[in-house]
Structure 1
Amino acid sequence: MKTLLYKSDPARGKVWQKILAEIAPEYRFIQWNDLDFSDGDPAIFAEVDFLVSWIPPENLADRFPNLKVLFSVAAGVDHFDLRQLPASLPVVRMVEPGLTQGMVEYVTFAALALHRDIPQYLQQQKQQLWQSHPVLGAAKRRIGVLGLGELGQATLKMLNNFGFECHGWSRSGNAPEGVTGWAGVEQLGEFLSHSDILVCLLPLTEQTRGTLNAELFAQLPKGAGLIQVGRGQQLVAEDLLVALDSGQLRAAVLDVFDPEPLPAGEALWQHPQVWITPHIASQTQPETAVTALLANLQRFAQGQPMHGEIDKTKGY
């Protein structure tokens, strides 16, 4: 029997435990919160084969001598200190249909709201102002997505169905069918100039930290909209506020922040052109996440590549 240790939200863990007991009883599932640390690390640590975690414990190699794979409960691994992990330990981010569907739903909602000027109409409602504005057809609205991973690809496919002119940027520029792909730093400026609505779905790395700044905003078409669902550390909030006040950007939908929760009194809370949600754009769904985990465990057992396994040198 293989042992799987779960170190994340306990309530979600109970759902995982129930599902695994029903469909994969060959795995022994242990919750971190159920362990007794009164005499130091529990003896069971030596038997752990797989660790599923949000923030993994320190000294993995010493504490878990038989650990074979570290799984993230999230779509990214920026909450892991990759430098502290054993070089030979595979690290796998969560790729599961429920999480992907949630992100597609959120970005689609936000893109359609910006496309149809809903933030402006909500402000007019507060003023009891009855005033219409020209409606631009979807085919005349350009949407650009920064990041062409699992979430970016799925989001662009959905937006493309609405008839938007869709663009995607990444290191490789590997965009889905019907989407114009842009690759590398040398094409970033041209990509931005084709983004009336910009969606950030980049992973957090040293290269993407602070990416959404004044220099980037200046390269967008005047009056562009921003949807930030990547990571909070990618956004320079002060630069965003300046861009909104100058009219370079007309509205922003923000789901991630640095720090989180966003402190009371921050200017973003009060800005009339900013919509804020508390990091809820996409959440791992227990049922589909367990299915994805089991599929990867089977791949590992068969010596096949796991879906979502990261390149530690890139950080994603």
Structure 2
Amino acid sequence: MPSLALLTNQNERYRELLANAHLPGMTFATEVAQADIWLADPALAAEQLASLPAPAWLASTYAGVNALLAPGLPKDYCLTHVRRLFGPLMSEYVFGHLLSHLRHLPQLARQQRQRQWQPQPYASLAGTTLVTLGTGDIARHIATVARAFGMTVLGVSRSGEAREEFDAVCRFDDANATLNRAQVLVSVLPDTAETRGLLEATVLQQLPAGCLLFNVGRGSAIDEAALLQALDANHIAHAFLDVFKQEPLPADHPFWHHPGISVTPHVAAVSLPEQVCDQVIDNYYRFVDGRPLLHQFQWQRGY
């Protein structure tokens, strides 16, 4: 009978959900080392992997598993991570901030407090161009919402494979013409050797003046010094950043007080136990049947 260990910050909730699922043959392990399956937050699992053998299957409660990629940790086990849940939440984050910025909602709120009747001119999203770096499930949902607003949506990916949600997709190696059109740029890139520092000075200069930049993927994609320079030169109008190279963002980091940056503490999309368990339960039946698990982490690709 497979045994499962819980290594999360919401163990009681996960235990309740899994117990109510009445999974055949599953027991909860009293010792992590005895468990065949770990349902774990990546950082907590990494602590255990430093001294214990890897389980047969580690089910991450997050999409990002950077903590499990640290040097010295095993990388020869079945790792699954949360997929296809975050598109709606990420879209709400991007378009919430985008509409607030374009419609000057913070300024209008200040004017209300000061009892000032001062209409502000604004532009519509319709007819503007949004570019996503990455064309996976999150980017495809963002693209769908963007097209509902009447935007042109372009994608940049490693393969350049066409996606129905996009007006066009190109490869990273051929991205200059696409970046030149990006009035809104949204990075949903994972943390890989190929994506680290991808948004450096020469790439940022390809963007049209006044571009709005969102990073909801991984903080490692952005050259922080180059971004600050582009903002100070008014080449990028504003950057909305939810992910950073170091988290929590250090208190003395210049991003905190830069007028052209909106900082949020990695909250664009959170893992809800109910949704995570739906995927874990589905994979549990596959695990006991000996079938391939869904949403497996690809060690060679890094995502």
Give the TM interval when normalised to the shorter protein.
0.7 to 0.9
Give 2:209's aligned amino acid. Answer: K
Q: Does 1:282 find its partner at 2:269?
A: yes
Report what 1:24 is aligned to. 22
Q: Aligned to 1:14, which of 8, 12, 15? A: 12
Aligned-pair identity (%): 31
Distance in 1 (alpha carbons) for counterparts of 2:51 and 2:255: 44
Preserved CA contact (<8 Å) 1:255 1:279: yes
Preserved CA contact (<8 Å) 1:95 1:307: no
Report what 2:203 is aligned to. 216
- Per-residue deviation at 1:61? 10
1:174-185 to 2 correspondences below 5 Å:
174-185=161-172
Preserved CA contact (<8 Å) 2:186 2:215: yes
Q: Sort the Cα spacing of 1:6 and 1:162 in 2 relative to 1 into closer, same or farther, 3 A.
A: same
Distance in 2 (alpha carbons) for counterparts of 1:123 and 1:273: 18
Give 2:135's aligned amino acid. Answer: L
Distance in 2 (alpha carbons) for counterparts of 1:96 and 1:286: 14
Distance in 2 (alpha carbons) for counterparts of 1:124 and 1:217: 34
1:259-298 to 2 correspondences below 5 Å:
259-298=246-285
- Per-residue deviation at 1:96? 5.1
Q: Sort the Cα spacing of 1:175 and 1:223 in 2 relative to 1 into closer, same or farther, 3 A.
A: same
Q: Deviation string for 1:71-103 (max 9, x for gaps)?
A: 222112222227645554222111253x33322
Preserved CA contact (<8 Å) 1:212 1:236: yes
Report what 1:203 is aligned to. 190
Q: Aligned to 1:153, which of 140, 146, 151? A: 140
Give 1:75's aligned amino acid. Answer: A
Give 2:77's aligned amino acid. Answer: L
Preserved CA contact (<8 Å) 1:96 1:288: no
Report what 1:76 is aligned to. 64
- Per-residue deviation at 1:139? 3.0
| Aligned partner of residue 66 in structure 2, secondary structure | coil
Q: Sort the Cα spacing of 1:129 and 1:92 in 2 relative to 1 into closer, same or farther, 3 A.
A: same
Distance in 2 (alpha carbons) for counterparts of 1:211 and 1:122: 36
Give 1:29's aligned amino acid. Answer: F
Report what 2:81 is aligned to. 93
| Aligned partner of residue 174 in structure 2, secondary structure | helix
| Aligned partner of residue 20 in structure 2, secondary structure | helix
- Per-residue deviation at 1:58? 6.2
Distance in 2 (alpha carbons) for counterparts of 1:134 and 1:106: 20
Instruction: Give the TM-score normalised by structure 2.
Output: 0.87
Q: Sort the Cα spacing of 1:91 and 1:141 in 2 relative to 1 into closer, same or farther, 3 A.
A: same
Preserved CA contact (<8 Å) 1:119 1:251: no
Q: Deviation string for 1:202-242 (max 9, x for gaps)?
A: 00011111122212210111110001111122222221121
Instruction: Give the TM-score normalised by structure 1.
Output: 0.83
| Aligned partner of residue 138 in structure 1, secondary structure | coil
1:235-314 to 2 correspondences below 5 Å:
235-314=222-301
Q: Sort the Cα spacing of 1:129 and 1:29 in 2 relative to 1 into closer, same or farther, 3 A.
A: farther
> Any stretches of 5+ residues in structure 1 without a counterpart?
36-41
| Aligned partner of residue 216 in structure 1, secondary structure | helix
Give 2:280's aligned amino acid. Answer: L
> Any stretches of 5+ residues in structure 2 without a counterpart?
none
- Per-residue deviation at 1:108? 2.2
Preserved CA contact (<8 Å) 1:226 1:253: yes
Q: Sort the Cα spacing of 1:235 and 1:62 in 2 relative to 1 into closer, same or farther, 3 A.
A: closer
Aligned length: 299
| Aligned partner of residue 285 in structure 2, secondary structure | helix
**Two-structure CA RMSD over aligned residues (Å):** 2.8
Distance in 2 (alpha carbons) for counterparts of 1:85 and 1:235: 26
Distance in 2 (alpha carbons) for counterparts of 1:220 and 1:119: 26
Distance in 2 (alpha carbons) for counterparts of 1:262 and 1:63: 30
Preserved CA contact (<8 Å) 1:110 1:227: no
Report what 2:2 is aligned to. 2
